Amino acid sequence: MQQYYRGNRRNGLWQMSPVNTIIIVINVVVFAVLTFLGDTTDVQFMHHHGANFWPSVIEEHEYYRLLTCTFIHFGISHLFNNMLVLAYIGDNLERALGKVKYLVLYLAAGIGSSAVSAVWSMFKDEYSVSGGASGAIFGVVGALLVIVIKNRGQLEDLGIRLDKMLSGQLEDLSSRQLMFFAGFSIYHGVTSAGIDNMAHISGFLIGALLGGLLYRRKRYWKQNSKGTAATW
């Protein structure tokens, strides 16, 4: 089934992305509550409040941690960096996929990357406590990369880009930018201590897979002088 997109100047093509906004608000609120209750840089405190820890997940069957760990952050800089990235790229992906598909992809990448991280830590016999939205965020990056590849190097197809250009609202997010961001983030993780690289890599792969499955290219159309639909 084809989808058709119609430009709307009154509402604008830069309309709010409510799901992404709600996700950011939840992360900020959770961090504020945890900061009020204790120290978000304390490992034991964070473990007690839902961080990912493979003995708790696998041996004690506390599977809820696979979700809760994606909404907790170790310190203000951890939260700020993740939310800053999510505010930009999450908005792009939600408008490309739609609200429901975006939410499904975000949660699947977050939970899936947490599960892979837990299993990987178990096999490596590592006892690290982890948390943060970066696994889900890398899923967003992976999905966006698949979408821009499908659209020949840009986030959206020609018709939508033309409409944005005419209304002065052109947004240019290229595959080169996404590859640079993903590559730099992975490099930073590999060369830095305390980074859950397996969550990043698995989140990216999950997002890329789901992005390819969920995304459908939108068709642009507008009413011409004869009252018929012109498409690109």
DSSP per position, 73-89? -SSHHHHHHHHHHHHHH
**Within a domain: residue 230?**
no
Highest mean pLDDT among 10-14, 174-178, 209-213: 209-213
**Within a domain: residue 7?**
no
**Within a domain: residue 185?**
yes
**Within a domain: residue 2?**
no
CA distance 55 to 27: 25
Position 23 confidence tier, pLDDT thresholds 50, 70, 90: very high
- The number of folded domains in the chain is 1
**Within a domain: residue 192?**
yes
Q: Which range marks the domain in which residue 175 is found?
A: 16-219
φ and ψ at residue 157, rounded to 5 degrees: -80, 175
Pairing of strands 218-223, 229-231: antiparallel
Q: Per the residue annotation, which of 121, 134, 175, 185 is the catalytic one? A: 134
CA distance 36 to 49: 13
**Within a domain: residue 228?**
no
- Is 27 exposed, middle or buried (CB count within 10 Å of its CB: 0-12, 13-18, 19+)? buried
Q: Who wins on pLDDT, 92 or 7?
A: 92
The mean per-residue pLDDT over the stretch 59-85 comes to 94
Residue 161: pLDDT above 50?
no
CA distance 132 to 199: 10
CA distance 189 to 183: 10
Q: Is 134 in the active site?
A: yes
Q: Who wins on pLDDT, 1 or 126?
A: 126
Q: Give the CATH number, domain containing residue 58.
A: 1.20.1540.10
**Within a domain: residue 225?**
no
Position 148 confidence tier, pLDDT thresholds 50, 70, 90: confident
Helices (H) and strands (E) in the chain, counts: 10, 3
Angle value at C-alpha 44, between 108 and 204, nearest 5 degrees: 25
Position 10 confidence tier, pLDDT thresholds 50, 70, 90: very low
**25-29, 45-49, 215-219: the lowest-pLDDT one:** 215-219
Q: Per the residue annotation, which of 49, 73, 78, 200 is the catalytic one? A: 200
Q: Is 200 in the active site?
A: yes
pLDDT of amino acid 189: 55
**Within a domain: residue 229?**
no
Mean pLDDT across the chain: 79
